[in-house]
Amino acid sequence: MTAFEDTWHWNQAAEQAFDEVMRSGLSGASELLRAMRSFLGENDMMAYLAMMAIRLIELHRVLKPTGSLYLHCDPTASHYLKLLLDGIFGNERFKNEITWKRTGVHGDSKTWSRVSDTLFFYTKGTNFTWNDPLEPHTEKYVNSHYSSTDESGRRFQLTSLLSPSPRPNMTYEWKGFPSPGMGWRYSKERMAALDAEGLIWYPRLPDGTLDISKRPRFKRYQDEQIGTRISTIWTDIAPINARAQERLGYPTQKPLALLERIIAASSNQGDVVLDPFCGCGTAVDAAQKLGRQWIGIDVTHLAVHLIEKRLNDRYPGIQYIVHGTPKDLDSARDLADRDKHQFELWALAQVDAVPWKGGRKGPDGGIDGLIYFKPDGKRTEKAIVEVKGGGTGVKDIGRLAQVMEREKAPLGVFITAENPTRAMEKDAAAVGRFEDDWGRTYPKLQIITLAELFQGKKPDIPFVDPSSLKRAKREDVSAGKQEKLL
pLDDT winner (highest mean) among 169-178, 356-365, 477-486? 169-178
DSSP string, 346-401: HHHHHTTPEEGGGG--S--TT-SEEEEE-TTSSS-EEEEEEEESS---HHHHHHHH
Residue 288 has what pLDDT?
97
148 CB neighbour count, 10 Å cutoff: 13
Confidence of residue 363 (pLDDT cuts 50, 70, 90): confident
Q: Is the pLDDT of residue 176 over 80?
A: yes
Q: Is the pLDDT of residue 138 over 80?
A: no
Using CA atoms of 425, 427, 428, 433 in order, give the dihedral in degrees to the nearest 10: 120
The answer to whether residues 342 and 335 touch, using CB atoms and an 8 Å cutoff, is: yes
Average pLDDT for 245-257: 70
The three state secondary structure string of 418-448 is CCCCHHHHHHHHHCCEEECCCCCEEECEEEE
Confidence of residue 14 (pLDDT cuts 50, 70, 90): very high
* Coil/strand/helix, residue 158: strand
Average pLDDT for 291-298: 95
The answer to whether residues 445 and 386 touch, using CB atoms and an 8 Å cutoff, is: no
Amino acid identity, position 272: V
Residue 1 has what pLDDT?
32
Return the closest-CA partner of residue 131 out of 274, 294, 271, 295. Answer: 271
pLDDT winner (highest mean) among 98-102, 131-135, 145-149? 98-102
Give the end-to-end CA distance of the chain in Å, rounded to a whole number. Answer: 29
Domain positions in the chain: 1-128, 139-224, 334-469
Lowest mean pLDDT among 214-218, 239-243, 303-307, 364-368: 239-243
Tens-place pLDDT, residues 261-293: 999 999 999 999 999 998 889 999 999 999 999
Tens-place pLDDT, residues 67-108: 999 999 989 999 999 999 999 999 999 999 999 998 877 776
Number of helical (H) and strand (E) elements in the chain, helices listed first? 15, 21
The answer to whether residues 446 and 413 touch, using CB atoms and an 8 Å cutoff, is: yes
Return the closest-CA partner of residue 313 out of 424, 471, 452. Answer: 471
Q: How far is CA 313 from CA 189, 246, 421, 441, in A?
A: 57, 12, 39, 31
Distance CA 333, CA 262 (A): 40
User: Angle CA(143)–CA(145)–CA(148) in degrees, nearest 5?
Assistant: 75
Burial readout 95-107 (b: 16 or more C-beta within 10 A, e: otherwise): beebbbbbeeeee
Burial readout 356-369 (b: 16 or more C-beta within 10 A, e: otherwise): beebeeeeeebbbb
Distance CA 311, CA 285 (A): 7
Topology (CATH) of 334-469: Trna Endonuclease; Chain: A, domain 1 (3.40.1350)
User: Angle CA(441)–CA(445)–CA(447) in degrees, nearest 5?
Assistant: 115
Return the closest-CA partner of residue 467 out of 379, 377, 356, 372. Answer: 372
Residue 2 has what pLDDT?
37
291 CB neighbour count, 10 Å cutoff: 15
Q: How far is CA 478 from CA 83, 291, 298, 315, 474, in A?
A: 42, 10, 26, 7, 10
Residue 241 has what pLDDT?
62
Tens-place pLDDT, residues 24-51: 999 999 999 999 999 999 999 999 999 9
Residue 482 has what pLDDT?
43
* Mean of all residue pLDDT scores within the chain: 89
